[in-house]
Amino acid sequence: MKTKLRLGVIGVGSVVREIYQHLYFRSDFSHLLDVCAAADPNEQFRNWFCDLAGIPAERRFTDYRDMLAKVQLDAVQVNTPDHLHCGPTVDALRAGLDVVVPKPAAATLKDAHAMIRAASDAGRFLGVDFHKREDPRFKEAEARYQGGRYGQFQVGVLYMIDKLQVADPNHAPRFFASPDFAEKNTPVSFLTVHMADALMKVVHLAPVQVRAVGYAQRLPALRPIPVKGYDLVDTEILFENGAVAHIITGWHLPNTAHSLTVQSNRLICSEGMIDLGLDTPGYREIHADGITEVNPLFKNFEKGGTVTGYGISSPGRLYQHILALRNGQLSQHDYEGHMTPIALGFYTTLVLQGAEKSLAEGSSPARGVTLGSTVDLRRLLADELGPSAAKEYGMG
């Protein structure tokens, strides 16, 4: 029986620096993982991570395909940009490995479908780390909503807005390595997916229509490096039961904000209301650096050096499931429960692609504003994958 998973890490950039290094080496799940190889084309990041992990030179790769060919592994974690998840994920699954990817599963329906199909064909585990699913507030809300306590979901307003420094290439130190991150990644792809996925996990409803409004006013004015990207996006989602949610996301709050991410969530239902005060997760400190909201629920640096919190437990539980599958202890029922469109974030990718399409087809009623088109998600899915796939995902 396996007690550890031989893990290869594909991509060791900012998401590893901010979250996954703690999972791999300082968490309650570290004993499950033997991080024995890594692949990243960036030499600086690759060497930083491999030095941290004690990975020898012969297991440090610029190309993940060389790693898959030369190192005996059980699983890989694909930490590449969203639009590059598909290739390494499919290759690893076809090689008989299990895969974990950060949210979202993929940037397009075609990529998400290819990944899901590869996992199903190989009988391997594909896990998507939507860590808000492990937030105890969302888990409690899901249990109570699914128990019928609030009736039918009707209207929701959710927001998640970062400090400007997250998207500002002029800020030192730069939050993301690439100066064009906020040009290639909209608030929809980076933030809306979080809230959309958490909402759908609570209410278990499929999205059927999307319309987005984007604002590009603050980022283009940055100096000396301007950014051709959106500051803020309001994504309106219509669900199969007629409910509507507005998910407002961005990254242009002043850097003096009390938290890196200011966020909250309110769901109005036919028999009650859920008010998730996500912006007050822990405590506020008054310090020479300013007044800051500290969020120990997400990432808690404990006294002994262990890092806990739902940002760690979410991917950690995925590795527990992989180890159970490897040891023949994951039932077919539980495996199939991890392969649903909601569990794999397929509907989240559907919302993501629909919102991006809405903005791309939109008009400009005012300077720096894009009024998006209305996108029928059932039609989008059928156009992208065909009618039979649309039925497969319950959208036919």
Q: Which residues of the chain have pLDDT under 70?
A: none
Q: What is the pLDDT of residue 45?
A: 95
pLDDT recorded at residue 295: 87
CA 31/CA 316 separation, integer angstroms: 11
Are the beta carbons of 259 and 276 closer than 8 angstroms? Answer: no
**The token pair that represents 222 in the structure block:** 């940055």
Q: What are phi and psi of 179, to 5 degrees?
A: -70, -15
Residue 246: phi, psi to the nearest 5?
-105, 120
According to the model, what pLDDT value does residue 293 have?
87
Q: Distance between CA 232 and CA 196 in Å, rounded?
A: 16
* 296-320 pLDDT tens trace: 899 999 999 999 999 999 999 999 9
Q: Kindly list the distances between the CA atom of residue 127 and the CA atoms of 34, 122, 130, 275, 381, in Å, as whole numbers in the listed order.
A: 18, 14, 9, 29, 22
Q: Are 109 and 85 in contact (CB under 8 A)?
A: no
pLDDT given at position 14: 85
Residue closest to 219 by CA, chosen among 159, 158, 171: 171
All domains of the chain, ordered by start, with CATH?
5-131+304-329 (3.40.50.720), 136-297+346-392 (3.30.360.10)
Phi-psi region of 290 (alpha: psi -120 to 50; beta: other; left: phi over 0): left
Three-class SS state of 215 = strand
- Report pLDDT digits (tens) over 121-148: 999 999 999 999 999 999 999 999 999 9
Helix (H, G, I), strand (E, B) or coil at 119: helix
Residue 308 is predicted with a pLDDT of: 97
Spatial separation of the C-alpha atoms in residues 93 and 154, rounded to whole Å: 39
Residue-level pLDDT at 325: 97
Report the distance separating Cα 264 and Cα 278, nearest Å: 5
Secondary structure letter of residue 111 according to DSSP: H
Please, are residues 297 and 281 in contact by the beta-carbon 8 Å criterion?
A: yes
| Residue 68 near residue 91 (C-beta atoms within 8 A) | yes
Cut 0.85: pTM above it: yes
For residue 304 the two structure tokens come to 């002994």
Based on the number of CB atoms within 10 Å of its own CB, is 79 exposed (0-12), middle (13-18) or buried (19 or more)? Answer: buried
pLDDT tens-digit series, residues 359-374: 999 999 999 999 999 9
The residue type at 47: N
Q: Rounded CA gap, 329 and 125, in Å?
A: 13
Q: What is the DSSP string of 297-364?
A: TT-EE-TTS-EESHHHHHHHHHHHHHHHHHTT-S-HHHHHHTTSTTTTTHHHHHHHHHHHHHHHT-EE
Measured between alpha carbons, how far is 210 from 212 in angstroms, rounded to an integer? 7
Q: Is 101 helix (H, G, I), strand (E, B) or coil?
A: strand
